[in-house]
Amino acid sequence: MEGNRGSSQRCDLLQKIREFTRAIVQDLSIGRSPIVLIDRFRIHCTNPHANCCCSSVLPNGKEILTLQRENHVHRLDVLLRVLLIVQQLLQENRHGSKRDIYYMHPSVFSEQSVVDRAINDICILMQCSRHNLNVVSVGNGLVMGWIRFLEGGRKFDCINRPNTAHPIPVQVEEVKDIVSVADYILVVEKESGKRLSRYPHQKQMAYDAKQLRCPEVCWLGVFPSDSEKYCLPQQCFLPLTAEDKKKAEAMLNRCYLQREVPRWRLELELMLQRGVKFEIEALSVHSLSFLSKEYITSKIQGGVHI
């Protein structure tokens, strides 16, 4: 049944791709500049006092791409090149990474973010998620603990080797038969912030927020208020940069912050008021094992999270 559904989705996508490219070719054949309309999305408004219900499901205006604008010509060229690669992946029922696609035409794409933006544009145009295009990210995460699952015929048995880290599958839609006796999942985010800060089009990911969001996730720490609770010395603090302040103030203006996570707002306001920040590793000032054996353990056992 799952195989039939996947085959049907591929056929539908291939039909949409053919119709899209046919419309562009027809416009060019009669000397008319093609116009591509791409929905814009956002996950929040900028009124912190709004009694609204912002949704990423509904578009917030449209972006118009046309060959009459020089900066759009290259973007459309990239979009069509990536679309051709996606079409081939779907036709052959193969998967490729975003990095694989970049190296197909590195001189044209110039950098990875150009390909990432084209893939997002295609997802919006075709009204699908990236995994529907058979495009995967480069796997660089690890999982360990009390869990066992299957992915594409491969068995990931972390239960029998709970202290061994296994690579997180990139084709998450194919993960099935999950067995776990864990009480909670601890997500350690160390690299994602670095990647996102270099990626200028992450706001366009809002179109796929309904697939990506995890409303049950909680912020375990570290909180700005932890600096007093755990008596961090002054040498652990770093002054907030102008960019830090700009980002924090922009977050405070998001409509959902007061409505859904007011304690996040309080922590951000406290950080701005003090004008300093610190990294979670600063807690190691007490001892090298303080972070893992005391801080995280006490937070989980005490339910101290936001």
Residues annotated as catalytic (active site), given as ranges: 103
CA atoms of 207 and 276, how far apart (whole Å): 34
Angle in degrees, CA 150, 173, 201, rounded to 5: 135
In the block, tokens 């035409």 appear at: 105
Enter the tokens of residue 172: 């998450």
CA distance 179 to 191: 27
Three-state secondary structure call for residue 253: coil
Beta bridge partners, 147, equal 180
Amino acid at 148: R
- Separation between Cα atoms, residue 36 and residue 118, nearest integer Å: 13
> Do the strands 166-167 and 238-239 form a parallel or antiparallel pair, or are they unpaired?
unpaired
Shortest CA distance to 271 belongs to which of 220, 221, 223, 218? 223
DSSP 265-283: HHHHHHHHHHTEE--GGGG
Give bridge partners of residue 64 from the DSSP assignment: 37
Instruction: Please answer whether residues 289 and 278 qualify as being in contact, where contact means their C-beta atoms are separated by less than 8 angstroms.
Output: no
Which residue, among 220, 240, 227, 229, has the nearest Cα to 292 in the 3D structure?
220
Alpha-carbon distance values, 18 to 87, 106, 127, 251, 302 (Å): 9, 25, 15, 41, 56
CA dist 12 and 233 (Å) reads: 60
Question: Token pair 């290259």 is at which residue?
Answer: 74
